[in-house]
């Protein structure tokens, strides 16, 4: 049986096997949900202080899925940011260990973050960033109701474009937040960290 609960400090010492998989579903720092993310990208972008900052500032947005024997199956971390109609939830990372994939665990974790953004923080939308080359992740997000809002040129290490994908929440009645931009932008034009 799977239990989804808030992430705690002790989990930082227990989830290495989830993070070290090169096929891990992970986004980084408003970064990439990349099924083909390279280990070195992941290790350098996430360190203990990074996780601790999220845990301290946005505890409602940091959850772990735990299986039998207290084994970590996956986790999601995010935050809420912006102002006015740009107030939104952000998926920073969603990661599922290889042996627990194809059980809709990522979907459950995403739904949890969306519910918190919608019902607790009254956000207008949820966003995430994904590598433009990551067709499997893009397809998964589209199945979850996300649309490509804009392309961010050379978002990943100054080399690969990123896609900013969004899903409107109930507060955005007119769905303004998901009307795609007609032109790509550069990373320095991004509004948020």
What are the tens digits of pLDDT across the range 99-155?
888 889 999 999 999 999 999 999 999 999 999 999 989 999 999 999 999 999 999
Q: How far is CA 31 from CA 18, 82, 93, 113, 141, in A?
A: 18, 17, 8, 17, 14
Which pLDDT score, from 0 to 100, does residue 58 have?
Answer: 96
For tokens 């997000």, what's the residue? 141
Decide: 92 and 77 in contact? Cβ < 8 Å: yes
Question: Reading across the β-sheet that carries 160-168, which strands appear in turn?
Answer: 3-6, 62-66, 72-81, 88-96, 125-131, 160-168, 147-156
Using CA atoms, how far apart are residues 131 and 26, in angstroms rounded to an integer? 11
pTM (2 decimals)?
A: 0.83
Decide: 167 and 178 in contact? Cβ < 8 Å: yes
Which pLDDT score, from 0 to 100, does residue 8 have?
Answer: 81
Q: Which of 98, 95, 145, 142 is nearest to 125 (CA)?
A: 145
88-96 and 3-6 as β-strands: parallel, antiparallel, unpaired? Answer: unpaired
Which pLDDT score, from 0 to 100, does residue 19 have?
Answer: 62
Q: Which of 139, 190, 135 is nearest to 164 (CA)?
A: 190
Using CA atoms, how far apart are residues 51 and 164, in angstroms rounded to an integer? 22
Decide: 49 and 42 in contact? Cβ < 8 Å: no
Q: Which residues of the chain have pLDDT under 50?
A: 21-45
């Amino acid at each position: 049986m799977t239990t989804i609960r808030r992430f705690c400090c002790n989990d930082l010492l227990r989830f290495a096997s989830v993070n070290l998989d090169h096929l891990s579903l992970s986004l980084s720092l408003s970064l990439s949900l990349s099924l083909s993310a390279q280990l070195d990208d992941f290790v350098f972008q996430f360190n203990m202080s990074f996780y601790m900052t999220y845990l301290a500032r946005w505890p409602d947005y940091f959850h772990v899925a735990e299986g039998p024997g207290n084994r970590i199956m996956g986790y999601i971390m995010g935050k809420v940011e912006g102002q006015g109609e740009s107030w939104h939830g952000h998926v920073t990372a969603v990661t599922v260990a290889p042996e627990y994939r194809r059980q809709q665990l990522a979907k459950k974790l995403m739904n949890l973050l969306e519910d918190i953004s919608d019902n607790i923080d009254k956000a207008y939308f949820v966003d995430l960033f994904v590598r433009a080359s990551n067709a499997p992740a893009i397809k998964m997000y589209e199945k979850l109701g996300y649309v490509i809002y804009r392309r961010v040129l050379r978002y990943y290490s100054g080399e690969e474009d990123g896609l900013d994908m969004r899903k409107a929440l109930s507060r955005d009645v007119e769905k303004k937040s998901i009307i795609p931009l007609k032109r790509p932008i550069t990373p320095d034009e991004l509004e948020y960290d």
